[in-house]
Each structure stands twice: as structure tokens, then as C-alpha cells.
Amino acid sequence: MSGALRVLIVDDDALVRGGLTMMLDGVHGISVVAEAADGDEVCAAADKHTPDVVLMDLRMPRVDGITATRRLRARPRPPEVVVLTTFDTDENILHALRAGAGGFLLKDTPPTEIVDAVRKVAAGDPILSPRITRRLMDRAATQAGAHERARTALESLSPREREVVQAVAEGHANAEIAARLYMSVATVKAHVSSILTKLDMDNRTQIALLAHDAGLA
């Protein structure tokens, strides 16, 4: 990506917004272009300021972060979304990722890790803490019919695409997948794009969820 990463901060707490803005604006290569105090302001702010990444709170007075994420990700060329919240229930995590969020962090996450998450999610790499990932996978695996639905969905993919799905679920980056499967990075990216299209998904996190539901990882 060229130029500074553009970030929109969405939180109903002015002190939180101010703290995040101060922290991120002090980082080379990142610029906070706007703030929003509620989920109902997100789409208009995104249209006006074209952020690359949105840091999204969950609990807000009028429109919650999950609804705002879903609306945002349904639009053409949407920014990536990182949920940043104090509410880490299984339901919140799962609903946020299903809505299209590329990351889920708690507000007590160290500043350096928040910065790292902004950069990685902007580059297409999902961000979840190991604790949250394990809880999410356990919850998804217990949902009625999840395993069978996931296996059926994966049958629509080619054998090579299923290999890429498994590698994504195991947390490998594109370069690692390329080396492992003896293909170019460009080919890996093409496979990932094809998988997302065939499965009607938004990001690699959702691919990983499906793979875990199917028992591939």
C-alpha cells in the first residue's frame, strides 16, 4: 500500500477516541482521518474520508458496532474493520466476524499490538488473540449442523483451493503458503480471491472459521 494508512475511529466515549487518535497519529505511516461517536455515523464518515481501516467499538447508543460493520462491509470497496471493545463474549466475537470484521481486540490490548493489528488487517491478514480464537472455534464447532454445512461448502472448491483453505486456517501468510504448496505468491492470492468469491465471504478469518467447522484444522 502506498502512503499513510487512513484510520477511522468509532467509539461513543470521547476520551477513548482522543486517546486512540493521539496514539495512532504519533505512529509513522498511520493517519487518523476521522472520528465517529456512533455506528449510525460510520457509513457517511467512510464515504467522506475513505479510510483503509476502521477501529470499531461494539456498544454504542443508537447503532451497535456489529450492525455498523455489516452495513459498511456490504458497500463497494469497504475498508477493513477491527473491533476494539471491552465485551469479549462468544456471541460478540462470532457476530462481529460473521459481519465481516477482520480483527477482534480488547481495549486493554497494548498500544503496539493495536498498531500492529491496524497494519496487518489493512494488508489482509486477520488479527485475533489466541485466547479469543480458541473460544470462537470451540463455539462454532458446537453449533448444530456447522460441520456438515462447512463440509458441503468446501466441496464446491477445487482440491488445490482446499489445500489453500487448510493453510489459511493454520495461520500461514501468503508467502508461507506459496513455499509450502510450491506456487507463486500471486497464485496464492488468486486462489484466496477465488475461494472468497465461491464461498461468498469477505476475508481470511471467515475462511479459517469454515475450515475449523469442517474439521480441517
- Model confidence pLDDT, tens digit, residues 59-99: 999 999 999 999 999 998 899 999 998 877 777 888 888 89
Query: Angle formed by the axes of helices 146-154 and 204-214, to 10°?
Result: 110
Fold observed for domain 5-137: Rossmann fold (3.40.50)
- For the chain, the structural domain boundaries read 5-137, 144-214
Residue with the bigger pLDDT between 150 and 50: it is 50
pLDDT at 142 over 70: no
Mean pLDDT lowest for which of 20-29, 124-133, 149-158, 179-188?
Answer: 124-133
Amino acid residing at 141: A
- Model confidence pLDDT, tens digit, residues 196-213: 999 999 888 889 888 888
Residues 163 and 216: beta-carbon distance below 8 Å: no
Query: In this predicted structure, what is the pLDDT of residue 128?
Result: 77
Among the listed residues 9, 4, 1, 169, the one whose alpha carbon sits nearest the alpha carbon of residue 83: 9
Residue with the bigger pLDDT between 67 and 131: it is 67
Q: Please give the Cα distance from 134 to 128 (Å, whole number).
A: 10
Fold observed for domain 144-214: Arc Repressor Mutant, subunit A (1.10.10)
Residue 157: CB atoms within 10 A of its CB come to 17
Task: Enter the C-alpha cell of residue 104.
Answer: 477482534
Average model confidence (pLDDT) for the chain? 88
- Model confidence pLDDT, tens digit, residues 9-18: 999 999 999 9
Query: In this predicted structure, what is the pLDDT of residue 1?
Result: 43
Query: In this predicted structure, what is the pLDDT of residue 149?
Result: 83
